[in-house]
Amino acid sequence: MPPQEGKSQRASRRFPLWALTRNPDLRVAIASYEHGVARRWGRTIRDDITTHGPDLGLKVRDDLAAQHEWQLAGHEGGVYAVGIGGALTGRAVDLLIVDDPIKDRAPKPTPPRTGNARGTGGPKSAPPA
């Protein structure tokens, strides 16, 4: 899919929220190229639960509710957000989401075309001497 088509909204926001409604003990980690990007998704999911908690049957713990790390009240589940290269060592994770691991990914350059306008011909050869 092209950029700005909602991939991150689906993968990093809606899917973890849906998964936590199905299993509130699910430990989710979101990794991105930069910690601030991953933290934004952690904050957004947390805010969704805070806003719609009664309808979802979920509540964020008051004592563990930071943007980058929060847990559900009465459950083991929650979200931990980290930048690529950040520390996940020693953390139990049930669902790992890697969203935009490379900043400003550029498309692969197209190799130069060879041959004539009709698409025939092979590699260009040296002119006769």
Reported as a pLDDT band with limits 50, 70 and 90, residue 34 is confident
CA trace torsion 6, 7, 8, 14 (10° rounding): 80
DSSP labels for 61-93? EEEEE-SSEEEETTSS-EEEEEETTS--TT---
- Up-side HSE of residue 40: CA atoms within 13 Å toward CB? 9
Q: What is the pLDDT of residues 75-96, one digit of tens each?
A: 999 999 888 877 778 889 999 8
Q: Where are the beta strands (DSSP E) in the chain?
A: 27-32, 60-65, 69-72, 78-83, 95-98
Please state the rounded mean pLDDT for residues 94-122. Answer: 65
Report the range out of 1-5, 48-52, 106-110 with the highest average pLDDT: 48-52
> What pLDDT does 120 receive?
56
Reported as a pLDDT band with limits 50, 70 and 90, residue 62 is very high
Residues 6+ apart with CB under 8 A from 26: 19, 20, 77, 94, 95
Reported as a pLDDT band with limits 50, 70 and 90, residue 63 is very high
